[in-house]
Amino acid sequence: MSSITGVLAAVATPFDDDEKLVESALRAHVRRQLDAGIHGIFALGTNGEFYAQSAAERAEATRLVVDEVAGQVPVVIGAGAATTRETITIAQDAAAAGADALSIITPYFAAASQAEISNHFRAVAESVDVPVIVYNIPARTGNAVAPATLEKLAEVDNITGVKDSSGNFDTILQYLERTDRESFDVISGNDSLILWTLLAGGSGGISGIANVYPKTMASIYDLFVSGNSAGARAAQDSIRPIRNCLALGNPNTVVKHAANVREFGLGPARAPFNALSDAAKQQISETVTADLGRGLA
């Protein structure tokens, strides 16, 4: 059964200047997304800085997000880790906390064969009774999920989708070609490819830029399904300037700074991934100001 459609916000995890989770800011940011009409919440992913948090911190943030959403939209929790054993522990905790689905990143740092990648996802899927979404982001992990591997994984009952953040649209196309579009979700993890993924038959996107412009990101899907292809294209194209800013530093830091220009109170990224130059901060601020002037929201 298809489980994830539309645009989900890859919500950032707000920290204070001492790098502690700010519950009020996290709840407010989740509400901001819901009020903007976003179609789901994706927490503790790359934009949520899962890699910079302990299992206990991730568990706390998971519970806060699930509680704040209160069933209004699907909640997907990033539950991946470098080893299968740790991933299963985190995944079981997130499932117990009420996650509607789990995003499981490929193992990272150590090189993994396709057989090892397959074994990893199968073991995690067998350990929980909620849908599992394969997360492919080879530039960050060093390990890619080959289309042939995904085809086999899609046969597992509760592996119901893939989030592709490779940036290679042909990978998305191959994933679509090898899976059942009625029962398996192919989701773009790259903001720039959301509309094109939908046009190709995918289910939607998971958006980091939604931290800055949630209404604009949600509108890409809403306009697409309403048949307004020109409006959807305009919304998709409108985020190019802020997307260009991602090259100015760690993308998570750029997104948080842009959101903070809008006074969203997300705080800094955790060190050492938190040092933007003054010139970068100025360019991001100017871009956000110009975007707001163009009607992005």
Q: Which residues are annotated as a binding site for pyruvate?
A: 206
What single letter denotes the amino acid at residue 172?
A: I
| Feature table: binding site | 206
Q: Two tokens at 251?
A: 């993308």
Q: Are 190 and 10 in contact (CB under 8 A)?
A: no
Active-site residues, by number, are 135, 163
> Which are the contacts of 107, defined by CB distance < 8 A and separation ≥ 6?
82, 83, 84, 116, 117, 120, 141, 143
Q: Are 220 and 7 in contact (CB under 8 A)?
A: yes
SS3 22: coil
Burial of residue 27, with CB atoms counted within 10 A of its CB: 0-12 exposed, 13-18 middle, 19 or more buried: middle
d(CA 165, CA 187): 9
What single letter denotes the amino acid at residue 74?
A: P
End-to-end CA distance of the chain: 33
CA proximity to 115, closest of 66, 162, 148? 148
Q: Are 3 and 131 in contact (CB under 8 A)?
A: yes
